[in-house]
Structure 1
């Protein structure tokens, strides 16, 4: 494994691209068949397959949050073989004043220099569900 394809390096590059607003570069770190497991019981919950589906998911979240949704590492990345655990802090606000501000954990699996699976965990799932709402309420 080259240093550029080491799981922690791939995930670091992914989060750096997101933080710098380089979404296409972040999406390029995803395997063409990436499995993205979005938690909860809201309009975005479920498994999203492929970078295009993840892009659509993020676009939907930006729409609900009026472009304010943000995600940033909240501590050091931790690797165990192909798995990288990333403590995160995510925020957003809706036009009606409802706020999202909580911690979570992203668990990313990396193979051959690409992220092949992402499992997301939220500190307060019901609050996140309430923020995103159901497809019927948006």
Structure 2
């Protein structure tokens, strides 16, 4: 099997997320992935390893009462093993909602996502939503 390029791995990941196919999305990560969640909320900080990232995503779905969504809003920009993807993410829960633009920066090596950095247009609003 040939190695997948960073662009293909990122496209597979975001396509799976868009379909709600969490197992396929998670299969794009390396076991030792590092996920950097921005802000000052319950999910902020570094999440190390596939299990921790799965728990993070599950927690976000739980807090958002299953409403959290992420959509790609433009073309992926590739620079070697880095892939920057413009996104829009939203969610709602009792008494709160969020809907904003962001950028997901993936580092893809040897056909697997090894690191994720997230950026949002309104960190304070995101913190308020996640609590």
Q: TM-score range by the shorter chain?
A: over 0.9
Structure 1 residue runs of 5 or longer lacking an equivalent are 134-138
Cα distance between partner residues in 1 of 2:67 and 2:40: 21
Question: Following the alignment from structure 2 to structure 1, what is the Cα–Cα distance between the partners of residues 108 and 85?
Answer: 13
Distance 1:117 1:83 in 2: 9
Given that residues 71 and 87 in structure 2 are in contact (C-alpha distance below 8 angstroms), is that contact kept between their aligned partners in structure 1? yes
Q: Which 4+ residue blocks in structure 1 deviate beyond 2 angstroms?
A: none
Match of 1:65 in 2: 64
- Tell me the alpha carbon deviations over residues 98-135 of structure 1, each in whole angstroms, 9 at most, x when there is no partner: 111000000000000000000000100000000000xx
Pair 1:26-2:32 in alignment: no
Q: Give the TM-score normalised by the residue count of structure 2.
A: 0.96
CA distance in 2, matches of 1:47, 1:31: 15
Q: Which TM-score applies when normalising by structure 1? A: 0.92
| Cα distance between partner residues in 2 of 1:104 and 1:21 | 19
- Size of the aligned set, in residue pairs, is 131
Structure 2 residue runs of 5 or longer lacking an equivalent are: none
CA displacement at 1:4 relative to structure 2: 5.3
